[in-house]
Amino acid sequence: MRSLAAETAFLALVSAAACGSDTHREAPAAAAPAAPGSDATSNAGPGSLQAPADLGLRAVPMPDLHSSDASVREQFASRRATVEVALQQPTARPALAHAYGELGKILHAATAFEGAEASYLNAHQLASDDPRWPYYLGHVYRTKGPLDKAAEWFEKARQRLPNDLAITVWLGDVYLAQGRPDAAEPLFGKALSMSDGSAAAHFGAGRTALARRDYAAAVRHLERTQTLEPAATGVHYPLAMAYRGRGDLAKAEAELAIKGDLEPRPSDPLMQAVDTLLQSAEAYNVRGGAELSAGNWAAAADQFRKGLAIRPTDPSLRHRLGTALAQVGDGPGAVAAWEQVVRTHPEYARAYFSLGVLSADSQRYDIAIPNFETALKNEPGFVQARVQLGWALARSGRPGESLAHFDQALALEPTHAEALSGYGMALIRLGRYKDARDRLSGAAKLYPDQPMITHALARLLSAAPEASVRDGRQAKALVDRLIAKESQSLELGETTAMMLAELGEFAQATSVQRSVIEGAERLKLPTVVARLNANLQRYERREPCRVPFTEDELR
């Protein structure tokens, strides 16, 4: 099916750029020095920022920046200098507090947590009424520990801003991490009263309910989280546990198979100011990756361009820029970016893979297949490349060869959805309809909410040439599920007509098929119209369809 091919290519392109070995997590600007002591001088390394002893302020350990980008070194130098100037006028406490706080933010952004901790503590000491410094300290301790200090400082921030959504959610999150669902529950309840549309609040409420073994409430909140923030892959695991607790093992298995680690966050301007502060190539790569995962293609491209301005030869940044450009419709720009990567970094597997995906989506399999093969030569364990090579071989008329690649992918990831569906479609191309039915049925049990698998199985059950494979009643159940969860499409309408004809409901099949034809004519798809008319004539003769997929659909 052409839509199946397009959807598979889209998912492959984005997932290859957003995860796997191409993902760059933001690293510290440098290794953090030893933790400062409680006084102004103890354990202070040679790079520490010292305050006059009579002020009673902590020394701030500074990271080694020799290997950092010049832009990062300039940011640190500027903020350190601001503190040093402010220290010359210690009676101007608000200015000194602000200077320490701003230094803490750049250290926080660089994950130099010991320095950030000391800076924020100094800022709080100088301006104890400012809620920012206890809030940032809560985040520092939430990351590096101990959690009881994170709870203590978030509580202090909440005393100053009792109706702040982000503070309320983060404090509840810390209580959950401490194993205190009773303390977390009222906080997430309050967060939801402030904003029922907060995915982070529903996520917290769902995990709290799960900890309390209230599985129905957990499922309700976690499913709501998925609706509000589909890109939050971290929802899948707790939702799987909630389904399991409720006794819905099939749904639990499906969620476990697609679990990830991207959790929803509350709207948080204060932390956003930290997250977007560091001007390094790594930081821009991380921010761009987050925008890719969220589907914000133009914003992702902007972040990758900023990273490339600092480090023009970085292959990950340029590859991911190409991915973002492809998603905004700039195919030539995407190809140019990926081709530049393979020229300058011929070992970079992901660029060959992306070139292959774009070529396969245009049915240029003679170009796609060698690119996938090169990607696998450079990275033999690249499962997504193995799966896409299988799809390209099958669509180019070599389905027998594709099976070995699907087998290899499934040996590494036994529940890989695209490999399972690709194997089933390859068997259909080979005319092995019973084997295809069995493969797709197994995949549909694992992934009951994956429309491409459900749709392929419904089509096969409706129109397979072998009577032993067809099952009109089961096909109807699958079609009904698709209709309930999907917006109408030409392909779904065509499958519905096939299913009705298999059940002997030829009048209804004819009516549905005519509606589908009208839609195809409005979209000016003459090849599709011709195919649909051929089936319409069958239904008018009270004959069912016995061709689940035409050759054109299988390319």
pLDDT over 80 (residue 16): no
Q: Which helix (H) or strand (E) holds 372?
A: helix 365-378
pLDDT over 70 (residue 448): yes
List, for residues 351-392, the tens digit of each pLDDT value: 999 999 999 999 999 999 999 999 999 999 999 999 999 999
pTM of the shown model: 0.70
Let me know the angle formed at the C-alpha of 136 by 130 and 140, rounded to the nearest 5 degrees.
150
- The closest of 299, 344, 294 to 319, measured between CA atoms, is 344
How is the chain split into domains, by residue range? 1-26+285-407, 454-555
Q: Which residues contact 502 (CB under 8 A, 6 or more apart)?
A: 461, 462, 463, 470, 472, 475, 544, 545
Of the pLDDT bands very low, low, confident and very high (cuts 50, 70, 90), residue 131 is very high
Q: Look-up: residue for tokens 């990950």?
A: 316
- Token digits of residue 265: 């966050």
pLDDT over 70 (residue 23): no
17-26, 365-374, 484-493, range with greatest mean pLDDT: 365-374
CA distance 56 to 554: 74
Beta bridge partners of 60: 49
pLDDT over 80 (residue 33): no
- Token digits of residue 107: 């250290």
Q: Does domain 1-26+285-407 have CATH number 1.25.40.10?
A: yes
pLDDT over 60 (residue 166): yes
Given this model, what pLDDT does residue 9 score? 52
Give φ, ψ of 88 to 5 degrees: -75, -15
